[in-house]
Amino acid sequence: MTTTSTILIVDDQITMRESLEGVLSNQGYHLAFAEDGPEALRKAATLKPDVILLDVMMPGMDGFEVCQRFRADPKLAEVPIIMLTALNDRDSRLAGIKAGADDFLSKPFDTLELRLRLKTITKLNRYRRLHTEQAKFEWIVEKITEAFLILNQKGEIVYANPHSRFFLNLPTYTDAPIKKTFVELAQSAFKCQPADDWTNWLSSDTHSTSRYLVRSEQPNTPKLFLRVDMVEMDSGGEEHYLIHLRDVTETLFLRSPGNQSDTVRKTPFWHKFGLFKKKTQEHELD
């Protein structure tokens, strides 16, 4: 999904607002307008713009004061502000920097320069937001006790939290790239069940299928059943699938034939996995 950056244009002169609209209306932005400081503060609080183009010379509350008010608001303090000014003297620019302006454009402005500056700022904003959201996500999944992975479209692992690394026998803390795909790693330690449901498992037609990774009990390792759930992501980047590995060993053991009531025992849940057959046969002999 394409994200459109919002630009708030603040200028008391209607001719300047119309001029900026003509320059930017076909550049893929959502444009909003305010004709004075109070209106700019109200609209910015609602819109949370990506960039503010702010005229300096306005009656009542001038651009310097408006800029200071933006910087005093925690929700708007980080929004980039470009001041549009006909004042080219050093003192005016220093006043703008002191008020919190990020950049300046002199009137009359160069159309190409304005477009390039806005394109650079909005790209940096988008990258910063994605980077921040990714950092938040990774912090959360590092702390929780569930196992999560992120795969690209080829099924290669882009990210794996510590719990998923434990299940897949990967080093817990390392930035080294993971060369094998998720399925290759899973098959080296588990049986992928039901086998038919793992064929073309990344196809959009099979996302809702319940899949399991099954590890039989060994002398040095207990039996383990992991349910594998997948959600397709829409990040627009390398990340494409979110994988959740959930340990359901205890739950499924309680559903095994030897641990069920007569009514529940009629449903051979694990027969398709070839498990618990011995217990079923012993029960039938009884």
In a domain, 123, yes or no: yes
pLDDT in tens, 190-245: 999 888 888 888 876 655 577 899 988 777 778 888 999 888 876 556 668 888 89
Is 257 a residue whose pLDDT tops 70?
Answer: no
Is it the case that residue 250 has pLDDT exceeding 70?
Answer: yes
**Those residues with Cβ within 8 angstroms of residue 82's Cβ, 6 or more apart along the chain or in another chain:** 51, 52, 53, 54, 101, 102, 103, 104, 105, 117, 118, 121
Q: What is the pLDDT of residues 260-281, one digit of tens each?
A: 444 444 444 444 444 444 444 4
What is the CATH classification number for the domain harbouring 160? 3.30.450.20
Residues 126 and 150 in one domain: no
Range of the domain at 190: 144-254
Q: Has residue 81 got a pLDDT over 80?
A: yes
Same domain, 205 and 148: yes
From 135, 165, 185, give the residue that closes a domain.
135
Tell me which residue of 56, 51, 46, 42 sits closest to 4, measured CA to CA.
51
